[in-house]
Chain A
Amino acid sequence: MTRVLLFGRLSDLAGWRMRELDPPPASLSALRARLAEADPALGEALAAAGVMAAVDRVLVRGDAALATGAEVAFMPPMSGG
């Protein structure tokens, strides 16, 4: 199982905030492909410039292998204060 979290405008776009995928995708790119297949608009938004991914709360650039039980977060540009 892989836990997927969406933040900010991504969760509004997808209509969900957290989803658990089973069987778990083997890599971040496989996860992106599966999400894009189910929701092409979300797939496009996840690939947009400025959207970051974290695996188990560590920022990842490019692809990464996903262990079983991994938590993957997709984060649009950040804005606090």
Chain B
Amino acid sequence: MAVRLQVEPFEPGALLSAFSAGRRETGAVVSFTGLARAGGGAVTTLTLEAYPGFTDVEIARIAQDAQARFSLDDVLVVHRIGVIAPGEAIVFVATAAAHRRAAFEAADQLMDYLKSRAPFWKKESGPDGARWIEPTARDLTDAARWD
């Protein structure tokens, strides 16, 4: 299991290749990549803030829970922090399991958690100024599905 917070951009394909390599007992790998959207020109940058020493520990805890709950062979979470341009990847989650259902569900749960319960704060900046994004009602009910 690995959790990484990083300022540098990442290449999702390279992460998926490395994550999938050398597995003899894993039958299923599922990955999700979240990209920054331009919002029809309303967003020129996205700024992600984290609390080092807290955010990474919280994500590792939920990744460990998912690994136990879905009997995963492995989990990888990579999340950008800092300033992100539209089109760049913000988050990458990969799960490995013996069978596909567990891998799909674990990736779904991890993303629901990251959207509304992981300690990140997200600001959109554009021609009309900047605003902090708070989780939507849908984000909250999505996360509650797994409680």
Asked whether A75 lies within 8 Å of B135 as measured between CB atoms, the reply is: no
Q: Is B54 an interface residue (CB 8 A)?
A: yes
**Given that A81-B111, A81-B115 are known contacts, is A7 also in contact with B57, CB under 8 Å in the complex?**
no
- Tell me if B120 counts as interface (CB < 8 A to partner A): yes
CA distance A12 to B111 in the complex (A): 27
Across the interface, do B53 and A80 meet the contact criterion of CB distance under 8 Å?
A: no
With A and B bound together, what is the CA distance between A5 and B51 in angstroms? 9
- Measured in the bound complex, the distance between the Cα atoms of B79 and A75 in whole Å is 19
What number of B residues sit within 8 Å (CB to CB) of A? 26
Q: 7 tightest CB-CB pairs across the interface, nearest first? A: A8-B121, A80-B120, A9-B132, A81-B115, A81-B114, A57-B54, A80-B118
5 more contacts with CB within 8 A, not counting A79-B120, A80-B120, are: A5-B51, A57-B57, A78-B121, A80-B114, A80-B116
